[in-house]
């Protein structure tokens, strides 16, 4: 029997075939359902994640648009350690991390 992350993965990827479509599906779910901005840490630095994006490069995967001191930076979403987030945002982050091999 699967866990909650498996259920989110199934929900996000139900009609997405191939890695590119799956990344677009994740990006769309983050846009529609995640609560932005949220606090996070990237290599020990506190940031605010203001968006999740995908530029069409499967090797890069999803990126987090992180704001620190008024400047936006783009980093791999798997490198982001979220702070307090909504349950749905946490579920999407966990599902993406598992899908990408990050957990």
Burial class of residue 24 (count of CB atoms within 10 Å of its CB; 0-12, 13-18, 19+): middle
Q: In what order do the strands lie in the sheet with 71-76?
A: 71-76, 63-68, 45-53, 38-42, 81-82
| Tens-place pLDDT, residues 58-72 | 999 999 999 999 999
Q: Is 79 helix (H, G, I), strand (E, B) or coil?
A: helix
92 vs 71: CA distance, rounded Å: 25
Q: Would you give the DSSP letter of residue 69?
A: T
Residue 1: band (very low, low, confident or very high) from pLDDT cuts 50, 70, 90: very low
10-26 pLDDT tens trace: 999 999 999 999 999 99
């Amino acid at each position: 029997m699967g866990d909650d992350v498996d259920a989110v993965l199934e929900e996000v990827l139900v009609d997405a075939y191939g890695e590119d479509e799956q990344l677009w599906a994740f990006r769309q779910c983050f846009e529609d359902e995640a609560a932005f901005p949220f606090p996070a840490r990237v290599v020990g630095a506190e940031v605010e994640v203001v968006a999740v994006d995908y530029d069409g490069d499967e090797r890069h995967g999803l990126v987090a648009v992180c704001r620190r001191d008024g400047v936006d930076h783009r980093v791999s979403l798997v490198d982001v350690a979220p702070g307090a987030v909504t349950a749905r945002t946490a579920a999407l982050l966990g599902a993406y991390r598992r899908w990408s091999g990050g957990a």
